[in-house]
Amino acid sequence: MCGIVGIVSNQSVSKRLIEGLTRLEYRGYDSAGIAVINGQGIKRRRAPGKIINLQHVLDDSPIDGTCGIAHTRWATHGKPNMENAHPHQAGNVAIVHNGIIENFKPLREELARKGHVFATQTDSEVIAHLIQYFLDKAMDEESAFLACVERLEGAYAVAALIGKDNQTLFAARHGSPLVVGFGEGEMFVGSDAFALAPFTKRVLYLEEGDSAVVKIDDVCVRDKSGEEVTREIMTASISAVMAEKGNYRHFMEKEIHEQPEALARTIAAYMDPETNLPLLGDAAPFLRDAERLVAIACGTAYLAASVGKYWFEGLAGVHVETDIASEFRYRTPALPKKNGTALFISQSGETADTLAAMRYCNRAGLDTIGVLNAPESSIARETNAIMRTLAGPEIGVASTKAFTAQLAVLAMGAIGMAHLRGSLSQADTQIHLMALETLPELAQQALTVKAQCEAIAPILATAKQSFFIGRGVYYPLALEGALKLKEITYLPAEGYAAGELKHGPIALIEDGTPVVVIAPTDALIEKTISNVEEVAARGAKVIAITDEAGAEQFKDSTKDIIILPDMPGLTGPIISAIPLQFLAYFTALKLGTNLDQPRNLAKSVTVE
């Protein structure tokens, strides 16, 4: 949830720490800070809010050194103010931390009894004090760091500066990701390879329980038993070029426009050019043999899983259970004893709840498949098979192209599974695949509704609350439309199954309440139209997202009809996401919120 970067070099590091940190700002932007060691010991600068505020502090009061750490925070314990900003310092120790130290209270009390005075309300500060405590016991730096890590419970990625040593960084991971980067005469640590991309692509991923002593030209990694271990050095696939907004106002706008390309890449990766059949790679046997599927994810990714359920059940006839990761892991799910396959859908591959649910399924003996956008992520490294979404880096906090790429992969998975199990004939398989191949073109056409969405956005921007409704595969889309609007506009919005409105929520409809209905032509459109008439009769302002044929049927209920191209096979929900993204985008633009970094949110939720 927070971002960490560290550099040990024989050149100055401050500027580059900020550069690396900026690439991690998607992880949190409640406060930022930096600490360096130079001839005068540890110096730090911190600021509440975004990295730009820290930059202003540094402009007024520069610090530099050849070894340093930096942090961008998404607050968990303690307010997002300057006092609680990382790095935290105790004597000769400065640390940055991502995760939650679950036993921080007893540790803090124990250290307070020994005379340690705490300056913050964070769980993280205890790490600095604990290291200092062990240094005071005459331990050397590495022993003090390891002794500290041994006492920590919970999730952490930690980087530390210790003593007066400006040649060494100390790092450890348990439950939160951390990579070590190899440069020329300098070394790095970072929350992900993207942060280190301007400096190096040669990285090693610390594994659970690893700690590392990072020097200018070497790293010593120890596993959780303290044994020295060798971890493979890899070339990170991430582009070294800083993701730029180009001519777009926001990353979200750019990423909405990147969908034709992202869908083309994703679909191509799953099409076998020789057989013209779906190419499911390592996932194929798990899908072919599954007696039951469990699909687990969070937020928007969960809504992709919910659409997938309709497809897998409809085409492959397999029972699919979907669950929100944070719920799944804390109940006692009745899992299949044999031939159970669990899908984990995640853009980042780092979402703590999804990761924990995946580990649970691994332990329970299920075959696990990650549907992932980040191929080097924690989930990618621990699942039995990966189905990649090739959306490219998604920087805007609100997921857009990753969602539609997840849907495309799930569609391919469902068609492929159905074909492998013989529930879809060769001819029908081809028809479905040909439909998916039109996705890039359809997405391109769907982008043309942009101006119309901009014109409709004031209706949503001025409403007390809005509703999004749909049936079948468009029900999860309704939830996604409402989620997108809520997270970037801060306006109340609810998604409902269209047939469910009359069981309660219809009481909320007043004169002028916006109801966005997602209903391209399908077997259920007539029924959805009846539900739309029910709300229109009660004064709702209906906004319909449909196709040419559907538009005919909506014309008595509303003038605000967003017409998408005809969407064959499984393409409907994928393409229908685009106007929902635009509606949220333009509503937020009108309200002037920070669309790429909405309040209280972060891109990658690595805490429970």
| Nearer to ligand F6R (CB atom), residue 186 or residue 596 | 596
- For strands 67-73 and 168-174, give the pairing: unpaired
| Residue 348 in contact with ligand F6R, rule: CB under 6 A | yes
Distance set, CA 479 to CA 140, 471, 495 (Å): 54, 11, 4
Query: x/- contact string, 378-417, with ligand F6R (CB under 6 A)?
Result: --------------------xx------------------
| Residue 580 in contact with ligand F6R, rule: CB under 6 A | no
Contact status, residue 250 vs residue 595, Cβ threshold 8 Å: yes
Is 105 a known active-site residue? Answer: no
475: Cβ contacts below 8 Å, ≥ 6 apart: 306, 495, 496, 497, 498
| Nearer to ligand F6R (CB atom), residue 189 or residue 298 | 298
Report the candidate in 226, 396, 144, 433 with the shortest Cα–Cα distance to residue 315.
433
| Nearer to ligand F6R (CB atom), residue 174 or residue 401 | 401
| Residue 351 in contact with ligand F6R, rule: CB under 6 A | yes
Q: Per CB under 6 A, which region of 217-225, 340-348, 526-534, 592-600 contacts ligand F6R?
A: 340-348
| Residue 377 in contact with ligand F6R, rule: CB under 6 A | no
Q: Per the residue annotation, which of 2, 67, 298, 361 is the catalytic one?
A: 2
Contact status, residue 378 vs residue 350, Cβ threshold 8 Å: yes
* Shortest distance in whole angstroms from residue 298 CB to ligand F6R: 4
| Residue 487 in contact with ligand F6R, rule: CB under 6 A | yes
Q: What count of Cα atoms within 13 Å lies in the side-chain half-sphere of residue 238?
A: 27
* Shortest distance in whole angstroms from residue 601 CB to ligand F6R: 8
> To which residue do tokens 């399908």 refer?
522
Taking the C-alpha atoms of residue 266 and residue 412, their distance in angstroms, rounded to an integer, is: 10
Report the candidate in 205, 200, 206 with the shortest Cα–Cα distance to residue 183.
200
* Shortest distance in whole angstroms from residue 237 CB to ligand F6R: 17
| Nearer to ligand F6R (CB atom), residue 189 or residue 304 | 304
Taking the C-alpha atoms of residue 511 and residue 364, their distance in angstroms, rounded to an integer, is: 52
* Shortest distance in whole angstroms from residue 352 CB to ligand F6R: 9
Contacting residue, 22, 120, 266, 300, with ligand F6R by CB under 6 A: 300
Q: Per the residue annotation, which of 43, 484, 541, 603 is the catalytic one?
A: 603
Q: Per CB under 6 A, which region of 134-142, 185-193, 341-349, 523-531 contacts ligand F6R?
A: 341-349
| Residue 583 in contact with ligand F6R, rule: CB under 6 A | no
Report the candidate in 97, 89, 5, 83 with the shortest Cα–Cα distance to residue 41.
89
Contacting residue, 37, 196, 252, 298, with ligand F6R by CB under 6 A: 298
Phi, psi (degrees; rounded to nearest 5) at 319: -75, 130
| Nearer to ligand F6R (CB atom), residue 418 or residue 605 | 605
Q: Read off the DSSP letter of residue 132.
A: H
Taking the C-alpha atoms of residue 297 and residue 68, their distance in angstroms, rounded to an integer, is: 36
Beta strands in 60-115 (DSSP E): 67-73, 88-90, 93-101
| Residue 608 in contact with ligand F6R, rule: CB under 6 A | no
In angstroms, how far is CA 136 from the centroid of its own chain?
40
* Shortest distance in whole angstroms from residue 597 CB to ligand F6R: 12
> To which residue do tokens 């929520």 refer?
505
Is 453 a known active-site residue? Answer: no
Q: What residues are annotated to the active site?
A: 2, 603
Q: Which residues bind ligand F6R (CB under 6 A)?
A: 298-301, 346-348, 351, 354, 398-399, 487, 604-605
